A and B are shown apart, each in its own frame.
Chain A
Amino acid sequence: MSKAEAGPVGAPLPTITSPMIDIRNARKSFDVRGGGKTLVLDDISLSIAPNQFVSVVGRSGCGKTTLLNIIAGLDAASSGEVLIAGRRIVGPGQGQGVVFQQHALFPWLTAQENVAFGARSLPLTKSEKTKRACELLELVGLEASAGKYPREMSGGMQQRVAIARALALDPDILLMDEPFGALDELTRIEMQQELLRIWEARRKTVVFITHSISEALTLSDRVVLLAPHPGRIARDIVIDLPRPRLRTDQGFNALYEQIWSGLSS
């Protein structure tokens, strides 16, 4: 996918195409044990264009995962509006596919069954679900491991299955919560390339949570920095470097500095 096709990416300015994800003044607070509330997310407004790859970067505890859960429909914002393709989010299955931090595969199901489980809510026959699962495993390069249980696979393979599973409902949006955080550096780089390949093949809007600046820079069209206590958007940076991106590139380093200063200020 070339930059020109990615659409205007200069958010937070309103985009010309209607946004895939539109968050308006979202707040989220949790009840604290013993009374009172903590504000986790404060006045988040974020508009993400279709097929855009957006990374959300921030320190631990800045509400990244909470933000993702809200977009996923697994958690509701306390106030404000969250829309997907113009429709208010009422729950999961409105075009969101989620890849969790710890793969969260079902240990009692094989790779193929895990992916088929992703299509559980579709009105398909069992063999149609199996067929879809096989196609998706092929997409992530795991067709040979379809019969393996999660514990028989490496961390990288497990995350590939998790990605295939997240694609089972053919979502418009792929939400990823530090999916490669637990992987070793080499596997991690491999998975980043793999993800870009899948993203280009399937054309998804991606919201990718990470605390690795270089990961965000390698992958995204746009990097959103979250500041903690309470979680709020500190910076919104467009990454217009050509792909594939090199860590040795000057522009890469300049942006790295910019993000780092944004995070440490």
Chain B
Amino acid sequence: MREQLTQALVALLLIAAILLGVEFGVREGYLKAYEFPPASRIVQGFVELTTVGFPTGVTLWTHILVTVVRIAKGYVAAIAIAVPLGLLIGALPVLDKMTAPLVVFFRSVATLSLLPLAIVWFGAGELTKVILIGYGCFWVMLSNVIAGVKYVDPALIRAARSFKVHGWTLYREVVLPAALPRMFAGARVALGVGFMVIVGAEMIGTIQGLGALIMEARSFYRSEITVIGMLVIGVLGFLISSGLAALERLLLPWGGGLGETSR
């Protein structure tokens, strides 16, 4: 406990030292403010963002809301398609063998490299952004659902079979619950992917959203705004991911994820 406290204290001191160093460096002219935005500027920028907005009229809250809604649309759509499809593919080895190379291929394609093509197909509007987020989340989720179903502990299957449980009952009552922890893990990773993709997807065709905020700030040499954008994305990702973890603990009180790793 005391050791943890010391560690936290040292970490805090280190951050404070860096912030003070930058603050001092900029004030004395050693560093350029647009290269290393000092903390005081970041605080000012934050106040400006929440009151006036940047660009003027678009406050931080709007940016956050727009981004979250875009991620939510793409993410939910991806999960909604990936879960049933993954459950099907995982259950049928033939289907799995046929689709495995495709899944690996599409998952490996960096989502943002699809941006130019996506714009050609779907325009530079909302649809393109949501589709790109959905694409990134989909393949991650799909491969996790398939793996979850495929790599169920064979001992559990044998145990169930020894009680004459087979077929659909076996799938529903053993394979499905056994796959849940992996599916939750996939959902968390997919969310992370969503946050990675969003910044790139919002860099074109919009002035709303955290990605747009970052790009817009760049063109005005407002590095402190860029930093705020980064920080907000980090905090948002952390909060939503924690929410998912809490949901998992609530839905899987038997400690699926925990049990797996401790075994």
Of B31-39, B61-69, B154-162, the segment with at least 4 beta carbons within 8 Å of chain A is B154-162
Q: Are A151 and B259 in contact (CB under 8 A)?
A: yes
Q: Are A97 and B255 in contact (CB under 8 A)?
A: no
Nearest Cβ distance between residue B175 and chain A, in whole angstroms? Answer: 11
Q: Taking chain A's interface residues, is the majority helix, strand, or loop, or is none over half, making it mixed?
A: loop
Q: Are A74 and B255 in contact (CB under 8 A)?
A: no
**Residues of B contacting A69 with CB < 8 Å?**
158
- Among B156, B158, B173, chain A packs the most CB atoms within 10 A around the CB of B158
Tell me whether A102 is interfacial, beta carbon within 8 Å. yes
B224-258 interface bits toward A, Cβ cutoff 8 Å, 1 = contact, 0 = none: 00000000000000000000000000001111101
Known contacts A107-B256, A108-B254, A151-B258: A74-B177 contact under CB 8 Å: no
- Among A100, A106, A107, chain B packs the most CB atoms within 10 A around the CB of A107
Q: Are B155 and A92 in contact (CB under 8 A)?
A: no
In the complex, what distance in Å separates the CA atom of A98 from the CA atom of B164? 12
Q: Taking chain B's interface residues, is the majority helix, strand, or loop, or is none over half, making it mixed?
A: helix
Tell which of B161, B164, B254 touches A107, judged by Cβ atoms closer than 8 Å: B254
Q: Are B177 and A93 in contact (CB under 8 A)?
A: no
Q: Are A151 and B162 in contact (CB under 8 A)?
A: no
In the complex, what distance in Å separates the CA atom of A80 from the CA atom of B246? 55
Q: Are A93 and B255 in contact (CB under 8 A)?
A: no
**Residues of A contacting B162 with CB < 8 Å?**
72-74, 92-93, 96-98, 166
Known contacts A93-B164, A151-B259: A98-B159 contact under CB 8 Å: yes
B147-180 interface bits toward A, Cβ cutoff 8 Å, 1 = contact, 0 = none: 0000001011011111111000100011001101
Tell me whether B6 is interfacial, beta carbon within 8 Å. no
In the complex, what distance in Å separates the CA atom of A216 from the CA atom of B164? 29
Q: Are A91 and B163 in contact (CB under 8 A)?
A: no
Of A52-60, A117-125, A225-233, A242-250, the segment with at least 4 beta carbons within 8 Å of chain B is A117-125
Tell me whether B262 is interfacial, beta carbon within 8 Å. yes
Q: Are B156 and A121 in contact (CB under 8 A)?
A: no
A37-59 interface bits toward B, Cβ cutoff 8 Å, 1 = contact, 0 = none: 00000000000000000000000
Q: Are A93 and B163 in contact (CB under 8 A)?
A: yes
**Residues of B contacting A166 with CB < 8 Å?**
162
CB contacts under 8 Å to A, within B162-203, are 162-165, 169, 173-174, 177-178, 180
Q: Are A106 and B163 in contact (CB under 8 A)?
A: no
Q: Are B156 and A120 in contact (CB under 8 A)?
A: no
Nearest Cβ distance between residue B176 and chain A, in whole angstroms? Answer: 10
In the complex, what distance in Å separates the CA atom of A104 from the CA atom of B158? 9
Q: Are B163 and A120 in contact (CB under 8 A)?
A: yes
Known contacts A120-B169, A151-B262, A169-B163: A106-B174 contact under CB 8 Å: yes
Known contacts A72-B162, A169-B163: A100-B155 contact under CB 8 Å: yes
Known contacts A100-B158, A151-B259: A108-B164 contact under CB 8 Å: no
Nearest Cβ distance between residue A79 and chain B, in whole angstroms? Answer: 23
Q: Are A102 and B155 in contact (CB under 8 A)?
A: yes
Nearest B residue (CB) for A110: B254
Known contacts A93-B164, A121-B165: A104-B159 contact under CB 8 Å: yes
3 closest A-B pairs (Cβ-Cβ)? A93-B164, A121-B164, A104-B159
Sampled A-B contacts (18; CB under 8 Å):
A72-B162, A74-B161, A74-B162, A96-B162, A100-B155, A100-B158, A104-B156, A106-B178, A107-B255, A108-B256, A109-B254, A117-B173, A120-B165, A120-B169, A120-B173, A150-B254, A166-B162, A168-B163
Further pairs besides A92-B162, A100-B158, A107-B255: 7, Cβ < 8 Å: A98-B158, A98-B162, A104-B158, A106-B160, A107-B254, A119-B163, A120-B169
The chain B residues found within 8 Å of chain A, CB to CB, are 153, 155-156, 158-165, 169, 173-174, 177-178, 180, 252-256, 258-259, 262
